[in-house]
Amino acid sequence: NSPCVDDIIYSCRNSGGKRLLMNKKPTIRDVAAKAGVSIATVSKFINSTQRFTAAVERKIQAAIDELAYHSNPLARSMITGKTGSVGVAILDIANPHFTSMVKGANRVALEHGYNLLFVDTEENQAREDELLGALSRRVDGLIVSSRMPEEQMDRILALGKPVVFSGRPAPAGVPSIGVDAYAAAYMIGELLVKQGHRKIGLLGSQPDGYPSIRERRKGYMRALKHHHIHESFIEDSPLIREAVYDAALRLLRRCPEITAIFACNDNVAVGVIHAAHDLGRDVPGDLSLVGFDDTDLASEIKPALTTVYVAKLLLGSTAVRLLRDRSEDPYRTCITATLATRLVIRDSVRPLKL
């Protein structure tokens, strides 16, 4: 009989192909001998490629439990063609929003025996194709946060792996998960107007970029229009912290009359606080500030940031579950999951003193 894959891999790990006799890990051969069935039968049972009678499956499972056998992931991938890994593409690992999302995804991945691999595209659309292509060859499915234009998203689907899009709408027939960014940003506009602010700035909007950011801009602008405020103070910027600091300086110097700013995420808000401080503007004394995402930064910085709560751990964990469902049944009805948001009022917003 030819050696099984588990034996080959185990032997290669132990110099010269010699088998260790002490503390030897049980192999699929040992399970087969214990259960009184063939190695092929155990392999098919473990990899769920064939069902057997209840009595046979009970014997195999009992042998696995008694021997404390764990199948080798590499061996399993060689047999099934599956890697056992899920790929996650995020926009900026320095943004705590994505750090929390990855943590949530990893928790569910571990529950189901998946490895999690991720790439950071660093808010750089030009790198996405290369990084996603390399990642797709190492995983069974992808969870993708991308600023790629809608008309180019077929390039991701062409990689041939199940995909769940995070934070943006998906093409027809593809699952996605996100929040109602329009409604949340509308709440921000309403809050600032009700606090008496009329000269309100928007920072980090990138209208042609990430769909969620576009929706935040639309919701905010709609709230202002509802209150007959038509004057806009907008500064577009890449959403990395170094860039938004410079953008905040430009906005505050160009429009010193601004009394409030909506920063498109908490990372942007941190840049605003630093820029305001360097220009002698006090937050919230003469400049109110609202962020988006409610990352850990929001409650740790001074002043504590008023922001929109997004369930980031749930975002990641739900994305993995959607991907698992999609992988197991490609014809399952696709879900667009929308998580609830809420305003978290802290110290960075004050009523305007007239």
The string of pLDDT tens digits covering residues 318-329 is 999 999 888 777
Q: Strand locations in the chain, DSSP E?
A: 85-90, 115-120, 141-144, 163-166, 176-179, 200-203, 233-235, 260-263, 288-290, 307-309, 336-339, 342-344
Please state the rounded mean pLDDT for residues 8-12.
Answer: 31
Helices (H), strands (E): how many in the chain? 14, 12
Residue 239 pLDDT class (50, 70, 90 cuts): confident
**Residue 188 has what pLDDT?**
97
Q: Which of 178, 182, 123, 174 is nearest to 153 (CA)?
A: 174
Instruction: Work out the mean pLDDT of the chain and round it to a whole number.
Output: 85
Here the tokens at position 302 are 């001074």
Could you give the C-alpha distances from 213 to 108, 126, 203, 220, in angstroms and in order? 27, 19, 11, 11
pLDDT band with cut points at 50, 70 and 90 for residue 208:
low
Residue listed under structure tokens 């404390």: 68
**What is the chain's alpha carbon radius of gyration, rounded to the nearest angstrom?**
26
The residue type found at 200 is I
